[in-house]
Amino acid sequence: EFNMEIAALCALTLLLGALVVLVALAVGRRKEEIREELEQAAEFTGKSSKKPKQEKQRSRKDKASQHTFSHLLLASSLKSHSGNVTCIDFSSNGKYLASCADDRTVRIWSTKDFLEREHKCLRANVDLDHATLVRFSPDSRAFITWLANGDTIRIFKMIKKEDGTMTFKAAPEDFPQKHKAPIINIGIAETGKFIMSMTNSYASISPCGRFVASCGFTPDVKVWEVCFGKGGEFKEVARAFDLKGHSAGVHAFAFSNDSHRMVTVSKDGTWKLWNTNVEYKKQQDPYLLKTVPCASSDGSRAALSPDGRVVAISDGCNVAMYNATTGQLEEELNGIHSEEINDLRFDINGRFLVCSGDKAIRVFHNAPGYRAAIRDMQDMLKKAQNEAMKQRLQQQIAEAQIVINTANLKKKAAL
Ligand SMILES: *[C@@H]1O[C@H](CO)[C@@H](O)[C@H](O)[C@H]1NC(C)=O
Ligand SMILES: *[C@@H]1O[C@H](CO)[C@@H](O)[C@H](O)[C@H]1NC(C)=O
Ligand SMILES: *[C@@H]1O[C@H](CO)[C@@H](O)[C@H](O)[C@H]1NC(C)=O
């Protein structure tokens, strides 16, 4: 029933080896069928798994060896993995966070639980291997993994059972092994039909699935557009634009939700914010909006809130959050993990900043984002004419204020 069929297979080696393989696959199901199921959207019920006792015992043991960390902005620590978490990803519907670790599992967390005391997760076993990378499909109904030993991609379908719980089913066959180069990222392009794996020192697909970018030892980031024909068939990967301006190699970069902004972090000790909402087909170049000094190192990661207003940069086990407009340092989160941070992301609503490094996943309130939202809503409230609008704004301000106040209360208690 999971009738995956490899429709076409074309190896594309682009300049600098940024993109290595581009695989087209057709999932053997009709579109309407998929849409129908989508509408019955898998509500996360996360009933506890078959062996709750064993799990509990193990997780207690793991906890003892875990790095302890607390911070005013820490919303939750997600602990279930018994190995180091290597990659995290949010689903585009905002409901799930996926994580993979060297404990041979992928965990699917409900974002709804982030503020709860308990954090339920569902487990998918990665048989005979472990996943180093995980990415949701654009429809949030499947995820793909990169297999550490298999050097290939395995797809898991997320299936809703009759009792409302969810289960995972691996595709009967892994992708054919295509290349031996170390893979540093995987992603699924716009139509969901194309899966890419990438080498180079850092590479990523934009959240909208339209762009692919990579960086390496040179001071620039190269961005391509993935082009599809009218029927959704893959056409080409066309050079779009470069981000040029750093004076040393770029460690990492990130896109805003709509790809209108990008942030880069470099060995030159700065991060840069770029306006990438340009007509590159008319040779218009992206323009630099901001350059801000920051701590960085080889493994540094960058994250940009979906609205492009908050920048987060990791350096070793630390993260700094900045106002993207003014460059002002807003928050410092130090010693988050016992290992170097390997993934850093905002959730799709910009409420949380999440990172991984050791066995735990840390979820932080995006306080700078909340503060900016409160300021904006207060301005709107002054101008608001109708009563319903006013009430809605007042409620939203109150909700955002609760998050800020909780952090402030914790601060007071700590003094
Ligand atoms: C996690 O990573 C650290 C450093 O890379 C390593 O020392 C440790 O053994 C790893 N833990 C597991 C369970 O693999
Ligand atoms: C940006 O994110 C929102 C969810 O917060 C989503 O509804 C919207 O479609 C996204 N826009 C793009 C261009 O991806
Ligand atoms: C950044 O600073 C400007 C000017 O002070 C402010 O209006 C905006 O809300 C701030 N944004 C964030 C995300 O803190």
pLDDT tens series, the chain, 415 aa: 222 323 223 333 333 333 334 443 433 333 433 333 332 222 232 233 333 344 444 555 554 456 789 888 999 999 999 999 999 999 999 999 999 999 999 999 999 999 888 898 999 999 999 999 999 988 888 999 999 998 888 999 999 888 888 899 998 888 777 666 677 888 887 776 777 777 777 888 898 888 989 888 889 999 999 888 887 777 778 889 999 999 999 999 999 999 999 999 999 999 999 999 999 999 999 999 999 999 999 999 999 999 999 999 999 999 999 999 999 999 999 999 999 999 999 999 999 999 999 999 999 999 999 999 999 999 999 999 899 999 999 998 998 888 888 776 666 666 5
How many other C-beta atoms lie within 10 A of the C-beta of residue 319? 24
Nearest CA to ligand 1 atom 8: 84
Block residue for tokens 């350059």? 291
Give the three-state DSSP class for 32: helix
Q: Which ligand has the minimum distance to the alpha carbon of residue 358?
A: 1
Q: How many CA atoms lie within 13 A of 360 on its CB side?
A: 24
Distance CA 320, CA 301 (A): 11
Short-list 325, 347, 334, 323, CA closest to 295: 334
Nearest CA to ligand 1 atom 7: 339
Short-list 224, 279, 178, CA closest to 15: 224
Q: Which ligand has the minimum distance to the alpha carbon of residue 261?
A: 2
pLDDT at site 179: 60
pLDDT at site 375: 92
pLDDT at site 414: 62
Please indicate whether residue 327, judged by its CB atom, sits closer than 6 Å to ligand 3.
Answer: no
Q: In the chain, where are the structural domains located?
A: 81-365, 374-408
Nearest CA to ligand 3 atom 5: 326
Nearest CA to ligand 1 atom 12: 83
Residues in contact with ligand 1 (CB, 6 Å cut-off): 83-84, 102, 339
Q: Which ligand has the minimum distance to the alpha carbon of residue 257?
A: 2
pLDDT at site 176: 75
Distance 317 CA to ligand 2 centre (A): 30
- Under DSSP, the state recorded for 51 is -
Asked whether 318 and 329 are in contact (CB, 8 A), the reply is: no
* Residue 129 vs residues 135, 157, 172, 377: alpha-carbon distances, Å: 17, 18, 15, 49
Give the three-state DSSP class for 318: strand
> Which backbone phi and psi does 4 adopt, to 5 degrees?
-80, 135
Q: Any alpha helices (H) in 12-129, and if so which ranges?
A: 31-39, 52-64
Nearest CA to ligand 1 atom 1: 84
Please indicate whether residue 138, judged by its CB atom, sits closer than 6 Å to ligand 2.
Answer: no
pLDDT at site 229: 83
Topology given in CATH for the domain delimited by 81-365: Methylamine Dehydrogenase; Chain H (2.130.10)
Distance 376 CA to ligand 3 centre (A): 9
Distance CA 11, CA 201 (A): 20
Buried residues in 13-40 as b, exposed as e (16+ CB within 10 A): ebeeebbbbbbbbebeeeeeeeeeeeee
